[in-house]
Amino acid sequence: MPTIRPDVAAIGPYVPGRSIEEVAADIGMAPGEIVKLASNESPDGPFPGVVEAATKALAEASRYPDDNLRALTVALSGFLGVPADHLWFGNGSVGLIGHIASAVGGPGTSAVYAWPSFIMYRIATRLAMSDAIEVPLDEDHTHDLEAVRAALRPDTTLVYLCNPNNPTGTVVSADAVSAFIDSVPEQTLVVIDEAYHDYVTDQRYATAVPEALRRPNVLVLRTFSKIFALAGHRVGYAVGRPETILELRKAQPPFTVGQVAQAAAAASLQDRGELERRKMANEAARHHLQGVLAERSLPHTDSQANFVYFELGFGAEEAAELFTRRGVIVRPMSGGWLRVTVGSEEENRRFVEALNQILDV
């Protein structure tokens, strides 16, 4: 066994949602009968034109990809209305989180984030050898920004704000985010993770991109893995000041986004009507699922994302296992809560059917 850094050895491995094949073999069902609602993936395929664009790019496989991602940068810059030099791409937004954590972290620093929130903040903080300061969400499962602010130490170089928050789906308002940013010292980087931005319908929410465009200590993270349905291609991006991006990029190896992924992401930006359609479909299905939970008087949050967070009243692992045995994979979270991704109509029907069976035994 090679010598592993003790702080790395102490990290629990990232546990992805269980795969369809694994569960199918476990419970003796055909893979086609299993519904996976554990990883917040899109129930829809890629956007129109994406497969064609990606297939064409495949022919360039012998070449390294464009490390400046020119075509994708031009497409995204136009789509967002953001100058091209304010964009930074990575191998999924988790790739960027790792680079950011190592660029601003290290021994003698700390990173602050809410808990429960996206597990990669914890893992990246530990890998960067920074202290992790985890601030409990409030009783509504929402960021307690005053408590987050109070947890900042003189050695804090990084603070994450997941908006909407994974796994709770809760949002903090645009005003609260701006006031929070105002209160953070300029030498502390504020990373606002908006992976689920495109699903939000709550009018109190707004993107923090305008803040990221003018403040060197603010970055907004987004991804093509959710509403754009490209989780398998691994493309995420950050919006921020060019001078900040230039420094952070030093922690990133070259060629982290392949040309097929670049082409697929660029082609995804061509159809705003489809984006709106998917957003509305997600909202309707989310509303339906939350309505079912409400009818059953099951505690749940007002999720603004493509997942719903709820409690059955007994252990999360045990509850998830009961769903799994009925061919529905959901994600057990801490404190007895579960997270289920908003799926297709049929997938949601299967979830509700399993829920009813579990509750009515």
Ligand X SMILES: Cc1ncc(COP(=O)(O)O)c(C=O)c1O
User: Which positions lie near ligand X, rule CB under 6 A?
Assistant: 40, 92-94, 118, 162, 166, 193, 195, 223, 225, 231, 236
Minimum Å gap between C-beta 271 and ligand X is 20
Residue 3 token pair: 């010598």
The count of other CB atoms within 10 Å of the CB of residue 35 is 26
C-beta of 142 vs 292, nearer to ligand X: 142
CA distance 260 to 263: 5
Amino acid 354 reads: A
C-beta of 73 vs 225, nearer to ligand X: 225
C-beta of 83 vs 232, nearer to ligand X: 232
Nearest residue by C-beta to ligand X?
Answer: 92
C-beta of 217 vs 223, nearer to ligand X: 223
Look-up: residue for tokens 């289920």?
A: 340
C-beta of 65 vs 292, nearer to ligand X: 65
C-beta of 93 vs 324, nearer to ligand X: 93
Minimum Å gap between C-beta 118 and ligand X is 4
Minimum Å gap between C-beta 138 and ligand X is 18
Put the strands of the sheet holding 110-115 in their side by side order.
87-91, 235-239, 218-223, 189-193, 156-162, 110-115, 131-136
| 114 SS3 class | strand
Minimum Å gap between C-beta 107 and ligand X is 26
Positions of E strands within 35-168: 35-36, 87-91, 110-115, 131-136, 156-162
Minimum Å gap between C-beta 279 and ligand X is 17
Minimum Å gap between C-beta 195 and ligand X is 4
